[in-house]
Amino acid sequence: MEQKEHFKHLESMYQAAPLNQFYQPVMTVSEGTAEISIELDSKYFHAGQAVHGSVYFKMLDDAAFFAANSLEPDFFVLTTSFTTYLTKPISTGKMTAIGKVVNKNKSQFIAEAVVYNSQGQEIGRGNGIFVKSKSKLLDVEGYN
């Protein structure tokens, strides 16, 4: 399969995930990178009227995950660990996470992601370790 076709299939797989019906994210994938954006809504808020940390985590993990899976054309990758740092609260505008692979070897990918507000200011970051699973991408809903 051609690399650009793989990226488009990953984007389709992401949109097919039932959870993304709630967040309505937009994602683009390229070699070793992924960018995800969501428009904010009060349904993402905690009681303090700002975006809940789970939304930061989802954006950061998803961006890093798809950056890693962009380099694995045959198998679904899995997050084995992910560390998240929330550096600034947000309650309006858009969140955009950019993930990139920073290291790859035979058994794992290490990827980092940064999430920004509408003004381009960093509001969070994270890094994770991802491994190839036994599940073929062609068997994953939405991939083909």
Q: Render pLDDT for 52-110 as a digit per residue (tens, 0 to 9).
A: 999 999 999 999 999 999 999 999 999 999 999 999 999 999 999 999 999 999 999 99
Q: How far apart are CA 35 and CA 114, in angstroms?
A: 10
Averaged confidence pLDDT in the chain: 97
What CATH class does 3-138 carry? alpha beta
Q: In what order do the strands lie in the sheet with 122-136?
A: 26-30, 33-39, 94-104, 109-116, 122-136, 75-86
* Structural domain spans, the chain: 3-138
26-47 mean pLDDT: 97
pLDDT value at 1 more than 80: no
109-132 mean pLDDT: 98
pLDDT value at 19 more than 80: yes
Percentage of residues of the chain with pLDDT beyond 90 = 99
| Banded model confidence at residue 144, pLDDT cuts 50, 70, 90 | confident
pLDDT value at 23 more than 80: yes
